[in-house]
Each structure stands twice: as C-alpha cells, then as structure tokens.
C-alpha cells in the first residue's frame, strides 16, 4: 500500500517558549521508527507507510509557580462579579459543587486541585460567619462516587468535617431533592438540585481538561436530571455539534448555555475554573508522550520491558495496575467569577496547551485507544464505551473540520473485549444484548428503546443506591458517536474481538496492514493517512 505524501509539515500555534517549540506534525519516511499505539491496557508498535502524517501532542506547559496564590487572586479579583468575600454573609445558604471522577484522566496526583480550592472557599466562608454549607459532587447521570473517591477529591480535612450529611453525591432521581426552574425559549426543560437552586450562593469548582468541559455545562448538566440532560444528549443535537471541542459550533453547548441562563436567573453562581497541562506520564514513563524518534536508547529499552511485561501479565492484574496510575499534571490557570467571562479565559488556556494546527484532511485516520475514559474509572472500558471513546471523543478532538474527510475511514487499535463491570454498568449489558442485537442506528435506538431504559425502576434503584450509571447512560454514549457514524465510510478495529465488533457494526482486522488494505476498498488506492498520536490529550485545528 502506498500513501499520498503530505504537502507540508506544520507547527503548532501555541504559546510555548521558543526553546520548547517543536514540530507536532511530522511525515513518516523510510528511516522513521515504528509508531506507538495504545491498545487498551497494552501497547502496539506499528510501521506506518512512508508518506503518512503523524500529529503529536504539544509538550507540557509549565505550571503556575504558586497555586495557592493564584487561587486567592482569582477569588479576590473575579471576572464580572464582586470578590467572593463580598458575597458571603452570616445566615446565608452556601452550596459548593464540584466535578466528579470523570476527569481528569488519569486522576491527578494529590492534592487534588478541587480540594485545594474548596479549602480556600471554606476558609473565607467561616471568616464571614457562614454556617449552612453543603458540598455536592456534580454527577449528572454518572455513577455515585465512593467515600474514598470523595475523600481523594476534597481532601481528608474537608471530608472528615462534612461527610456524609453535608458532603454527598448529586441524585438526579430524588423526587424530593429536585426542582423545576422552567423551560428555555427552545422548550428545553431545566431541572436542578433543590439544594443548589435554593442556595443564596452556588460555588462551582471545575477542572477543564478539554475545551468541551466547563462553562454553563458544569451546573446545568452536573446538577441536572434526565429531563434536562435529554434536551441536548440526543441524536439530533449530537449530529449537529461539530465539534464538541468547538463550543461556538456545538449545538450541545448552545443548548446548555440556554439552560445556564435559566439557572443563573434562579441562583447566583460563583464559577471557578482551572486548566491543566498535559503531563500525563510520570517519571520513567514520561517518554510515552514524546515522538518515538526522540526516545533515547534507555527509553527504548524501558518501553520494550514495559510491553513485554504488560503482554504477559494477567489481564485483571494488568487492569488494576493501570488504574492505579496517577498523573503529575501542573495547574496552568485558575480563574473565577461569572460563568461566561471565566470560561472564555479557560478556553484560551486550554488552546495554549492543546491546539495543534493541521492543514488538510486525510482519507484514513489511525489512533490507539487507551485503557481509560471518562466513564470507566476503576472499571472496564466495555464495547459501548470503546465506541464512545473512538467515535465520540477521538473523532471529535478537532476544531474546524474533522481530521478525517467525509466518507473516510478511522482505524483504531483496541481489543474491544466483551466484558462489563457488573456494578458500574448494568444497563450497558442489556443495551449490548438487546438493543444492539436489534439495531445500531442511533435514531432507531432513541425512538424504540431509550424511554424504557431511562424510566426502568431497577436501573433507577441501582443508580440511587449502588454505584451504577443511570439506565439511559449507554444510549448517550452511543449518541455521542452519532456524528462520527454519519461522517465516516468505515470503522476498523485492529485486534478487536470479532463478535463484539460485529455487534457494534464495525469491521476488525488482525494487523494494521490488513486494516489499511480493507480501508483502501472504501477510500480508493493511494490514500492519505494521518495518525492521531493521543494520549496525551490535544486537539487538531484542521484547515480543509
């Protein structure tokens, strides 16, 4: 197979010091080393055809020198609002909500930035004489966090003082804990945590790891219900969100912004957002974030040992080992105040770290899917979550136009194992066995099956009392990939389980060479190929 040569090599448009600036888009030549592909809890080395293009993540930005000073400055000089101290008073009802364990990925090394910020907020609240304080993990329809996970997020001192009566998980199905705030001008229902809605001040503490996060999405979704979330987590909205990483062109973000306006009219919100660098691999594994051509001889030896060990390891032990890993992220920004101005600055910080300029789409895009996504922390990346990771997230890591052309092919490496976490993903099992056995068409799935799963009393019970995702959650994961399904001509998984790939509606191949030959049947001879070398996280700014 031959590959059409890339016309140019681009550099990133980001604010890195000149000494750190490097080419993030490179062309494969005859002497290029093999390319690293993640494949769940294992790794692959693949030789891409000469002329292929590889898009690498930018190197990590340096973090803030004094994070606590940055937090204080943000609280004292917020954007578009009075300082936090001026908003606090005796006798008021204060609620602090924070992002759940769906981010960052992998989890950050302690202390978690959420806990650091919450301690600063509490110190000021106590100084102002505020006594009625609650803290809520903004789960939306995700699984409840365990006590240990809550403690890790907020820190031991806060946990010991507030848990469980005043530190708890949001319950989107609590009939006594939810209030309706009305509808938007588009008829989108807005329901919210009653405690949050009736507060004199709601402080939201966010972590932004991609440009999709934060803004009005934090409160309207995180403290919302099925009735409010379904306003934008539907097939029509997902297909018209191009892309999720470009809020200005995302119908989902337009919808959450309209809901956010309703929420802000009901309760004052002091929004705190943070941004991280992309330093995901710690210590001796730091080379995994570097281009392979820059690996030293020692790093090459380390990788060979790592691959040999993980290939031979018991799968359950290997999974447990991967999920224990944490990332040495650095904080690149802390801003607070009104939702709109705060999020605008946050997006600038995210772009400075993650944006890579790429000229031209490709006929074929390859990518290796890692072991963890937002919905399988300490769990299993089941086949539906694999689909969501590939077509919902990796496909959408772009601004402008998709990295792969319309009708093109995406090739992923992942085992696509038919395995489900029995506690976290009970409705996923039934979705796989019942829904996908009938159809893979998102519109048909939404029309025929969603309501019964969303309103199922057993799924509702497990969501409220155990650690299960809401019954409707696998539907949303499938819709998340609806734009990719509509855009692509084919999806191929190298190394994927044959039965699982068939159930998902995708093809599979034993080797990358086989997959590339299969892709040629769709896009024609001599295709252009781009490899999206993620993780670490980044997104492509693609000019057609």
- Quote the pLDDT of residue 12: 35
**What is the band of 8 on the pLDDT scale with cuts at 50, 70, 90?**
very low
Cβ atoms 308, 43 nearer than 8 A: no
- Quote the pLDDT of residue 359: 97
Residue 13 reports pLDDT greater than 50:
no
Rounded Cα gap, residues 27 and 530, in angstroms: 9
- Quote the pLDDT of residue 537: 96
Rounded Cα gap, residues 390 and 367, in angstroms: 8
Residue 16 reports pLDDT greater than 70:
no
- Quote the pLDDT of residue 7: 32
Rounded Cα gap, residues 119 and 145, in angstroms: 20
**What is the band of 15 on the pLDDT scale with cuts at 50, 70, 90?**
very low
pLDDT mean across residues, the chain:
95
- Quote the pLDDT of residue 242: 87
495: left (phi over 0), alpha (psi -120 to 50) or beta: left
pLDDT in tens, 214-226: 999 999 999 999 9
pLDDT in tens, 99-117: 999 999 999 999 999 999 9
**What is the band of 14 on the pLDDT scale with cuts at 50, 70, 90?**
very low
Residue 534 reports pLDDT greater than 50:
yes
In the chain, % of residues over pLDDT 90:
95
pLDDT in tens, 74-87: 999 999 999 999 99
Residue 165 reports pLDDT greater than 80:
yes
- Quote the pLDDT of residue 458: 98
HSE-up of residue 252 (Cα within 13 Å, Cβ side): 26
Cβ atoms 170, 178 nearer than 8 A: no
- Quote the pLDDT of residue 23: 75
Residue 11 reports pLDDT greater than 50:
no
193, β-bridge pairs: 178
Residue 431 reports pLDDT greater than 60:
yes
To the nearest 10 degrees (0 to 180), the angle between helices 67-76 and 113-127 is 50
- Quote the pLDDT of residue 248: 92
Q: Where are the domains of the chain?
A: 18-58+355-542, 67-276
Strand order in the sheet with 355-359: 355-359, 539-543, 398-400
Tell me the CATH number of domain 67-276, given options 3.40.190.10, 3.40.50.620, 3.40.50.11440, 3.40.50.300: 3.40.50.11440
- Quote the pLDDT of residue 474: 98
- Quote the pLDDT of residue 1: 53
Cβ atoms 25, 39 nearer than 8 A: no
Rounded Cα gap, residues 191 and 181, in angstroms: 6
Residue 21 reports pLDDT greater than 60:
no
Tell me the CA distances in angstroms from 176 to 180, 267, 410, one per residue in order: 11, 19, 46
Cis-peptide, bond into residue 493, ω within 30° of zero: no
pLDDT (mean) for 246-251: 94
**What is the band of 468 on the pLDDT scale with cuts at 50, 70, 90?**
very high
**What is the band of 5 on the pLDDT scale with cuts at 50, 70, 90?**
very low
Residue 169 reports pLDDT greater than 70:
yes
Architecture of domain 18-58+355-542: Alpha-Beta Complex (3.90)
In the chain, % of residues over pLDDT 70:
96
DSSP string, 203-222: EEEEEESSTTSSTTHHHHHH
Cβ atoms 187, 222 nearer than 8 A: no
> Which residue in the block uniquely carries the two structure tokens 């496909």?
395
HSE-up of residue 198 (Cα within 13 Å, Cβ side): 10
């Amino acid at each position: 197979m031959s590959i059409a040569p890339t016309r140019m090599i681009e550099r990133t448009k980001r604010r890195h010091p000149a000494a750190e600036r490097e080419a993030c888009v490179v062309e494969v030549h005859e002497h290029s080393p093999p390319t690293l592909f993640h494949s769940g809890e294992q790794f692959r080395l693949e030789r891409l055809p000469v002329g292929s293009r590889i898009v690498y993540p930018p190197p990590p930005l340096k973090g803030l020198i004094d994070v606590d000073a940055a937090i204080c400055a943000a609280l004292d000089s917020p954007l578009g609002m009075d300082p936090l101290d001026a908003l606090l008073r005796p006798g008021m009802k204060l609620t602090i909500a924070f992002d759940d364990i769906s981010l960052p990925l992998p989890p950050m090394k302690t202390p978690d930035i959420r806990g650091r910020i919450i301690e600063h907020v509490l110190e000021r609240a106590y100084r102002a004489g505020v006594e009625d304080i609650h803290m809520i993990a903004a789960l939306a329809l995700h699984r409840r966090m365990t006590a240990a996970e809550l403690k890790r997020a907020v820190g031991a001192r806060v946990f010991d003082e507030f848990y469980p009566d005043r530190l708890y998980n949001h319950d989107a199905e609590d009939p006594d804990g939810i209030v309706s705030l009305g509808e938007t001008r588009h008829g989108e229902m807005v329901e919210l945590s009653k405690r949050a809605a009736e507060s004199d001040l709601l402080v939201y503490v966010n972590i932004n790891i991609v440009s999709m996060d934060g803004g009005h999405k934090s409160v309207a979704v995180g403290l919302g219900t099925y009735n409010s979330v379904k306003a934008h987590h539907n097939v029509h909205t997902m297909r018209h969100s191009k892309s999720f990483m470009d809020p200005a062109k995302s119908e989902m973000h337009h919808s959450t912004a309209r809901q956010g306006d309703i929420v802000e009219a009901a309760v004052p919100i002091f929004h705190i957002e943070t941004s991280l660098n992309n330093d995901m691999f710690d210590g001796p594994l730091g080379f995994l974030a570097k281009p392979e051509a820059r690996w030293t001889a020692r790093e090459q030896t380390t990788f060979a040992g790592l691959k040999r060990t993980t290939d031979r390891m018991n799968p359950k032990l290997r999974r447990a080992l991967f999920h224990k890993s944490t990332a040495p992220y650095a904080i690149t920004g802390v801003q607070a105040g009104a939702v709109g101005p705060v999020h605008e600055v946050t997006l600038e910080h995210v772009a400075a770290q993650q944006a890579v300029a790429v000229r031209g789409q490709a006929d074929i895009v390859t990518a290796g899917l890692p072991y963890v996504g937002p919905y399988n922390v300490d769990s299993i990346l089941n086949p539906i979550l694999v689909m969501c990771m590939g077509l919902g997230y990796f496909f959408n890591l772009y601004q402008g136009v998709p990295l792969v052309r319309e009708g093109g092919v995406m090739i992923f490496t992942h085992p696509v194992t038919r395995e489900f976490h029995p506690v976290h993903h009970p409705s996923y099992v039934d979705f796989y066995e019942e829904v996908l056995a009938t159809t893979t068409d998102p519109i048909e799935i939404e029309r025929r099956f969603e309501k019964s799963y969303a309103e199922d009393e057993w799924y509702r019970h497990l969501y409220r009392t155990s650690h299960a995702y809401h019954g409707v959650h696998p539907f949303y994961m499938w819709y998340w990939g609806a734009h990719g399904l509509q855009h692509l001509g084919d999806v191929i998984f190298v190394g994927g389980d044959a039965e699982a790939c068939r159930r998902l509606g995708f093809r599979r191949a034993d080797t990358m060479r086989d997959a590339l030959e299969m892709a040629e049947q769709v896009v024609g001879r001599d295709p252009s190929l781009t490899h999206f070398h993620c993780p670490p996280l980044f997104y492509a700014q693609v000019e057609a």
